[in-house]
Structure 1
Amino acid sequence: MIRGVGLWAMVVLLAGVSILSGCAEEKGAATGKNGNVLHMTIDADPPTLDSAFALDGNSYNLLNNVMEGLMRLGKGNKPEPAMAENTPEVSADGRTYTFRIRENAEWSDGQPVRAQDFEYAWKRILNPETKSPAVFHLFPIENATAYVQGQISADEVGVKALDDRTLEVRLEESNPHFLELTATAPYLPVRQDKVEESGGKFGREADQGLYNGPFILSDWKHEQLLTLKKNDRYWDKEMVQLEEVRAHIVKKATDALGMYTSDEADVVPLNAVTFEAFRNSAELVTHQRGALVLIMLNTKEPPFNNKNIRKALNLAINRDQLVNELLKNGSRPAGGMVPPAIHSHQGESFRDKTEDYVEFDPAKAKKLLEKGLEEEQLSRMPDIVMSVNDDERRHLALFIQEELKNHLGVDVQISPQPVSQKVAVDAAGQFQMTIVRWIGSYDDPMAFLEIGTSVSPVNFGRWGNQQFDYLVHKAKGNPDPAWRETDLIQAEAVVAEDAGVAPLYYEAQAFIQKPHVKNLFRHPVGPEYSLKWARIEK
């Protein structure tokens, strides 16, 4: 059924692209005629630009281009000095970092970026009253966990502005990825006065924020358009070539493609059908992400508290068919929690050091479902409501709905929701089954496994396992990279055996991009792209 629909849509799409391409030729093909203005499309309105509450990819991507932390991901995907003028001084035990803020670092209103802006921003996230979903990212900092739990005061947290330009950070233990973390959204600076005068609206509108990155958000027409302009107060403004970026919010990939072929957009994402149309195009750009798309089940709500029922649902989904017949963009079936783009301590793919735990076995799934229903004293599986983003992922939800119906006789209702609404509902645990996309903040298996701990605020399904928690905690404090990796391999095996989540696929992304767009760098972890070095070549 899905394959047939895809082929018919393909015929329609190709006809439409031919017509649109013809129109573009009559107008004149895109050659950067708008000067240094980049037009792109994104699939959803970012819910917030407040780094304390940003969770989704679109918010992270926007923050990466209008804000800057102590470090930022460079062209080669390694952290390089940003608001910090150099790499920090690090103590002999690897636990104390001393950063020096650039003398010419400024906010978009002309005030200097100070060390106090980092201290305030980080402690604001850790403050129990903030209830930030990003809080666990800051747990490497000394006493961060104790402060979140209300055991100590903010003054005892290991981050302190020694003066306006000197920031001292003390860690619980040596962390080889800490510099990568300082390039992520939760570690961005925030001005206290701007937050306090916003009346709770900080990060919700273009004028309810301050910017210190390569661009400023000059206009935000919700659900329509985001306009970024070059930040003339940025410390490295000579490196920024684009004068303006217009991010059009377009939910359907076919609509985005129409903008591309009619010369209204320079770069747009492709879905399964549009990818097929451009498979052999010189303008096709593909990119492997350190990202996992998975199903979370609300384990606090029967019958998903039953391990056998969770395992049955997991076994009933044909992931090979999912990536080969539905996605068709280079994504790979998930064998565990950690994507192949994430490396081991020796530099090879972590997946090569472990095994694939996820399988497709409908017969076994039926037996486990029967066993689980008997344990729960149920005669049949109740209907399930599955939450999904109101975008291209609806097709994924339809596929899962069909799989569970065909192989287990389980009825699933699909509940598509706008991104901002779904993030809030998921965080509150108000769902039965939800499709989630998790992007690694840094290149390490911990970036994916730590979300499953019982204390993680993004463990929306509230799955808990003492052995898993112990292994992750032990790995965090282990200075030996080989032993640490052994613990993480075991932790992934535990979550697979207990079916704490249902990994679906490792994400690949595909774009169609005009030849005149140069140096738009895409990252495997953290934000998807950086516009700092991008340019339009006339």
Structure 2
Amino acid sequence: MKKLLSVLMAGTMALSLAACGSGSGGANTFTFASELDIKNLDSCDADDGTSFNAMHAVIDGLMGLDEDGNIANAIAEEHTVSDDGLTHTFKLRDAKWSNGEPVTAQDFVYAWQRIIKNVGNYAYMMGSDGAHITGADELIAKTGNGEELTQEDLDTLGAKAEDDKTLVVTLTSPVSYFEELMTFPCYYPINEKFAEEQGDGYAKSAEAILSNGAFVMESWTPGSTATFVKNEDYWNADQVKLDKLVMNLVQEPTVAAQNFDSGSNDFAPIDSDLVDQYKDNDAFTTFKEGFLFYLQPNFQNTDLQNLNLRKALSLAIDREDFATNVLKDGSIEANGFVPEDLSIGPNGQDFRDDAKDFTTYDLEAAQAALDQALQELGKSEITLKLMYGTDESPMDTMATYLQNAFTKLNGLNIEMVATTKQDRIYNKQANGEFDISCTRWGPDYGDATTYLNLMKSDNVNNYGKWVNADYDALMAQISTEANVETRWNLMLQAEEMAMNDYVNIPVFQKGTSALENPSVKGLVFRPVGVPYTFNYVSKEA
């Protein structure tokens, strides 16, 4: 498969800071600061980058990344694909869990069945919105109807353990990025006996998780610190240079930067407020993330069903000013719903280079569109509630900027609704209790469909409830199209269809500003799937 080199970045920039953080815990300890907490290490439930970082530190999937960030074999020692692209056979290497038991093909079968049975957050990625595994869509439909799946039902999933070392996966359609999918946490294995013994507590503490990866979780104090030690029984232990990995959790950027300066952090993401203070420091670096921040209108709101109202909102946003002069962290304006540096087409072009630009700033045109909307709706003014999570930096900064932008339009009133990420997603958005939501999406894999699927009428993340039969039909065609050039052009058409209807309103593609200890080498950053890989990190004395 294609190696998405343009979206990979080894976190080993040439830095030359005379005196900077050496990290706590000694010369062979790497200390990583995170603004967020670890939710848990359960591949059935965790859905955030911090949890993914911690999960990947202890668990290997079939495929992983090499030191250059390229897709490479992990637990799978060999991978073969049938001529029609529908059967994938993985031969597993000799690897074992930290309780001494071998990693088997059944561990993958159990994990994949479990995420569907438990209606996990990423269960949909087993089906046509991800890996296209036979039987997955039918099982997901049953759970969606409230049915409880039997083991007989689950055994219809096209993932079979031919023997302890052979996993055979059958698909409904060829998936060109299948190996990349196998690096994503929802496809990680789980030791069935151990997980069942832990029950509801599985993966919620250091004692309730097994490792088959580079590190073993030593301790975890939620909201504070997680520590990991090298797994001496790891199949690739010779490549692991660190003795210890420390994750300092829930550290505000200011605190993280102070701890970096004092030597307590080796890597510390910082926010826009600190950029001017550190931008001339040799330890300062910026890079683009995969996250797209955007507005999701609720189409159950009769006002927002009006195309001109949604158009006015988009035209009123000066995205370049916001990214360059407010965020200042490497973020860039979003010109469409598929970010830059995500997917490369058959012509070697980035999707964004092939696609049209769908965003522009024109306050006069925005006012004209709003005036037209008011006339069509028979109103003199409209009030919309703008919802955002205060714990999703820089979501609060974006919301404040948008409030100021929208209130420049005569006839539009904005009421701010501050909440938390969990409440935003799982309560208010899930229940349709919003007008406009400030939200974001990070790519699960390096293909445009990881974004385009979000706007399908039956997608679980389509909280705005936009329904378009033509779009659904186009996405169905994309999911089965074998010709790569035809498929690429269909994806371009799909984005254009959605953007012309202002289904979601892109704002910016997130960048990260960070401070990095120059003695650290080999930290792999990838804006798709698991953000950071610690397997190859080393520290010079």
Per the TM superposition, whether the score is higher than 0.5 is yes
**1:64 positional shift:** 2.1
**1:478 positional shift:** 0.8
**Which residue of 2 is the match for residue 171 of structure 1?**
171
- Conserved in 2, the CA contact under 8 Å of 1:133 and 1:458? no
Structure 1 unaligned spans of 5+ = 1-23
Amino acid at match of 2:119: K
**Which residue of 2 is the match for residue 102 of structure 1?**
93
Check if 1:351 corresponds to 2:344: no
Cα distance in 1 between the residues matched to 2:73 and 2:340 = 28
Check if 1:454 corresponds to 2:444: no
Check if 1:318 corresponds to 2:306: no
- Conserved in 2, the CA contact under 8 Å of 1:252 and 1:392? no
Please say which of residues 346-355 and 372-381 is displaced more in the overlay: 372-381
- Secondary structure of 1:347's aligned partner: coil
Aligned length: 508
Pairs within 5 Å for 1:387-466: 387-393=388-394, 394-407=396-409, 409-417=412-420, 419-425=421-427, 426-466=429-469
Match of 1:85 among 77, 80, 87: 77
**1:61 positional shift:** 2.1
Please say which of residues 69-78 and 496-505 is displaced more in the overlay: 69-78
**Which residue of 1 is the match for residue 29 of structure 2?**
37
**1:416 positional shift:** 3.6
**Which residue of 1 is the match for residue 39 of structure 2?**
47
Pairs within 5 Å for 1:30-429: 30-31=21-22, 34-86=26-78, 88-103=79-94, 105-127=95-117, 130-139=118-127, 140-150=132-142, 153-342=153-342, 343-376=344-377, 378-393=379-394, 394-407=396-409, 409-417=412-420, 419-425=421-427, 426-429=429-432
What does the per-residue CA deviation read over 1:349-399, in whole Å, with 9 as the maximum and x for residues that have no partner? 111111111122223333333444455555432340412241432222211
- Conserved in 1, the CA contact under 8 Å of 2:288 and 2:510? yes
What does the per-residue CA deviation read over 1:440-465, in whole Å, with 9 as the maximum and x for residues that have no partner? 22222122211221222222323222
Check if 1:510 corresponds to 2:516: no
The change in CA–CA distance for 1:135 and 1:212 in structure 2 (over 3 A counts) is same
Cα distance in 1 between the residues matched to 2:424 and 2:211 = 27
- Secondary structure of 2:470's aligned partner: helix
Cα distance in 2 between the residues matched to 1:29 and 1:355 = 44
The change in CA–CA distance for 1:131 and 1:451 in structure 2 (over 3 A counts) is same
- Conserved in 1, the CA contact under 8 Å of 2:523 and 2:533? yes
Query: CA RMSD of the aligned region, Å?
Result: 2.3
- Secondary structure of 1:238's aligned partner: helix
**1:531 positional shift:** 0.3
TM-score, normalisation: structure 1: 0.89
Cα distance in 1 between the residues matched to 2:392 and 2:291 = 18
- Secondary structure of 1:199's aligned partner: helix
Check if 1:488 corresponds to 2:491: yes
**Which residue of 2 is the match for residue 5 of structure 1?**
none
The change in CA–CA distance for 1:449 and 1:63 in structure 2 (over 3 A counts) is same
- Conserved in 1, the CA contact under 8 Å of 2:20 and 2:517? no
The change in CA–CA distance for 1:427 and 1:45 in structure 2 (over 3 A counts) is farther
What does the per-residue CA deviation read over 1:202-258, in whole Å, with 9 as the maximum and x for residues that have no partner? 333322322222122222212222222222332112211112222112453222111
**1:159 positional shift:** 0.9
**1:301 positional shift:** 3.9
Cα distance in 2 between the residues matched to 1:389 and 1:195 = 34
Cα distance in 1 between the residues matched to 2:166 and 2:295 = 43
**1:427 positional shift:** 4.5
Cα distance in 2 between the residues matched to 1:29 and 1:353 = 42
The change in CA–CA distance for 1:161 and 1:57 in structure 2 (over 3 A counts) is same
The change in CA–CA distance for 1:191 and 1:311 in structure 2 (over 3 A counts) is farther
- Secondary structure of 2:208's aligned partner: coil
**1:313 positional shift:** 1.9
**1:42 positional shift:** 0.6
The change in CA–CA distance for 1:155 and 1:349 in structure 2 (over 3 A counts) is same
**1:428 positional shift:** 5.0
The change in CA–CA distance for 1:431 and 1:46 in structure 2 (over 3 A counts) is farther
- Conserved in 2, the CA contact under 8 Å of 1:308 and 1:371? yes
TM-score, normalisation: structure 2: 0.88
Amino acid at match of 2:113: K
- Conserved in 1, the CA contact under 8 Å of 2:23 and 2:31? no
- Conserved in 2, the CA contact under 8 Å of 1:78 and 1:180? no
- Conserved in 2, the CA contact under 8 Å of 1:388 and 1:397? no
What does the per-residue CA deviation read over 1:388-416, in whole Å, with 9 as the maximum and x for residues that have no partner? 24143222221112212223542231414
Cα distance in 1 between the residues matched to 2:217 and 2:305 = 44
The change in CA–CA distance for 1:62 and 1:295 in structure 2 (over 3 A counts) is farther
Amino acid at match of 2:357: D
What does the per-residue CA deviation read over 1:74-109, in whole Å, with 9 as the maximum and x for residues that have no partner? 2333221111112x1211111101111112x11122
Amino acid at match of 1:316: A
- Conserved in 1, the CA contact under 8 Å of 2:383 and 2:415? no
Percent identity of equivalent pairs: 29
**1:31 positional shift:** 4.4
